[in-house]
Amino acid sequence: MDIKLPEGGLVIGVGTDIIEIDRIRRVYEKHPERFLTRVFTEQEREYCVSKKNPLPHLAARFAAKEAISKTFTTGIGKELGWKSMEVVKGSREEPIVALDEQGMALLKAVGGSDVLLSLSHTDNYAQAVAVLVKQP
């Protein structure tokens, strides 16, 4: 079994977010293309829309981006854009945070080495918890 979790390290930031899936549904139905292309990377869009019901998956990734931005204490904006963060699948289907150049620069600036992520969703809510860690 190839399990690769960071060894030790210090927690330097924690972020969480919960969102009603119905809120994502309303935005998605009103402005589907604009919402998808503004918030999600191409890979995230492809993954979510391939699902029978894409809304819980979109909501979980939306919550993930909010939670990740909270770990950096920046929110989403000038320092960290919506598409600077991407949720990808690891070898065991676990969510992994991929950062673009802007995100990696911010990670380096705060002294971090990894952003760990956990996602959950029910019929009504999606939640994400992100932890910013620094390896010794």
In this predicted structure, the answer to whether residue 3 has a pLDDT above a threshold of 70 is no
Tell me the C-alpha distance between 113 and 9, whole Å.
9
Catalytic residue at 52?
Answer: no
Q: Is position 58 within any domain?
A: yes
Q: Is position 89 within any domain?
A: yes
Share of the chain above pLDDT 90, in %: 88
Among 57, 78, 121, 134, the active-site one is 121
pTM for this predicted structure: 0.92
- Please report the sign of the dihedral spanned by the C-alpha atoms of residue 84, residue 85, residue 87, residue 89: positive
Phi then psi dihedrals of residue 50, to 5 deg: -75, -15
Compute the average pLDDT of residues 24-45: 97
Categorize the per-residue pLDDT at 134 as very low, low, confident or very high, splitting at 50, 70 and 90: very high
Catalytic residue at 57?
Answer: no
In this predicted structure, the answer to whether residue 68 has a pLDDT above a threshold of 80 is yes
3-class secondary-structure state, position 91: coil
Residue 58 belongs to a domain with what CATH number?
A: 3.90.470.20
Categorize the per-residue pLDDT at 55 as very low, low, confident or very high, splitting at 50, 70 and 90: very high
Among 70, 78, 83, 108, the active-site one is 70
Q: Is position 3 within any domain?
A: no
Domain that holds residue 84: 10-134
